[in-house]
Amino acid sequence: MHRATSLDETGHRAWKLFLWSGLVLLSVVAPQETSETIQRALSDAYLQVSVFVGGTLIVFYFLENRARIDTAMLLKRHARWQVPIAAIIGALPGCGGAIIIITQYVLGRIGFGSMVAVLTATMGDAAFLLLAREPQTALLVMGLSIVVGTISGWIVERVHGPDFMRIPPDDTPQETIQCGQFVNYRTTTLWAWYGLMAPGLALGLGSAFQQDTDAWFGPLAAFAPSHWIGYTGALFCLLVWALLPGKGAAMVNLAAHPACRAHVKTRSRIVFETSFVTAWVVLAFLVFELGTLWSGIDLAHLFKAAEPLLPAIGVLVGFIPGCGPQIIVTTLYLGGLVPFSAQIGNAISNDGDALFPAIAMAPKTAFLATLYTAIPALIVAYGFFLFGY
């Protein structure tokens, strides 16, 4: 059994390395227009997104470690306020808060209304992306998510009662998860990753303030050093992602899980989560840039023509478990391809990686809670759409 698992993990790593190698090869030997488009997409993804996500994670986890809030004790002490507490914790960037609340539900300590509240409020790892690029919009989305999540949770408890679908403590499944060997990195990897992140963040900030960052390099400016630092940083993030041995570790943010936090160092979590987000952002950039190049179709015009459907599509994408598809929606919003109504609809309907433990440990409840999040998501999304957002 152990041998079969090892072979399976090796296979997942092999296909990811194959994809990474193919991307590197195409960026070098493909026809000039294609290779330059790939290089530009990689560099832009790193300097416009990844470095800001990494910087945001550093600040966020520093504050989180200083706060040291015991969520379980907080929920136990304030039983009457479990629904708004769940919504507030769920609205925090990343999936960790939502997964903690889901774990408390599975342990029989909170009700179904709190589960609906947290799944409605959470935006998953896409929140880091939005917070890094448009902090005011991110705060607006978080505030709306808390309000909508709280109201939704209270309505559910009012309609069904506080004990609806509550799991008896004796029936809680035993959960095991192994992730320390996946997301704790060697010192050399950490030095290389942060060594690229530091200048990348400086260049990203410079570009954001409309500075000619290549001019900072004096006589080397002619070689476009900013472009190559971004290109190298993106490829290194993708390599870190590709080298993860397990399928789950690559496609799901395991570092957010409470079972991982005790033995995964913060500096490794930052590397893992930033690389995870980078993989999906690069996918979105490449699909858009290469799609436009190869098809000759103006994708921005295509999205504009389908604008009335975009809020509903954003909500439907939110039903897909995991943060990856949601990161793509946020990337499209930041690129001006989809309206805010699609973004807020997706933010309310998506459950991030919190849905995976919910599906594994309480599948019927997870399915029903996901359906319930669609109702406020559609109402809010089309409410903003009708007002031109």
Residue-wise pLDDT tens digits, 314-357:
999 888 877 778 888 888 898 888 999 999 999 999 887 777 66
* pLDDT score at 56: 78
Select the more confidently predicted residue: 79 or 281.
281
> Taking 70 as the threshold, does the pLDDT of residue 93 lie above it?
yes
Half-sphere exposure of 239 (CA within 13 A, CB side): 13
Q: Looking at the predicted structure, is the pLDDT value of residue 169 above 70?
A: no
* Residue 26 confidence (pLDDT) above 80: yes
In the chain, where the domains are located: 2-386
pLDDT digits 0-9 by tens, 202-215: 998 888 777 888 88
| pLDDT, position 170 | 52
pLDDT for 239: 92
Q: Is 164 helix (H, G, I), strand (E, B) or coil?
A: coil
Amino acid 167: pLDDT = 65
Percent of the chain at pLDDT > 90 equals 25
Poorest-confidence range of 161-175, 187-201, 229-243? 161-175
Question: What are φ and ψ of residue 124, in 5° steps?
Answer: 70, -155
Higher-confidence position of 385 and 182: 385
Nearest-CA neighbor of 270 among 51, 13, 88?
51
- Higher pLDDT pick, 163 / 363: 363
Question: CA 252, CA 322: separation in Å to the nearest integer?
Answer: 6
**Confidence (pLDDT) at 4:** 44
Specify the length of the chain in residues.
389
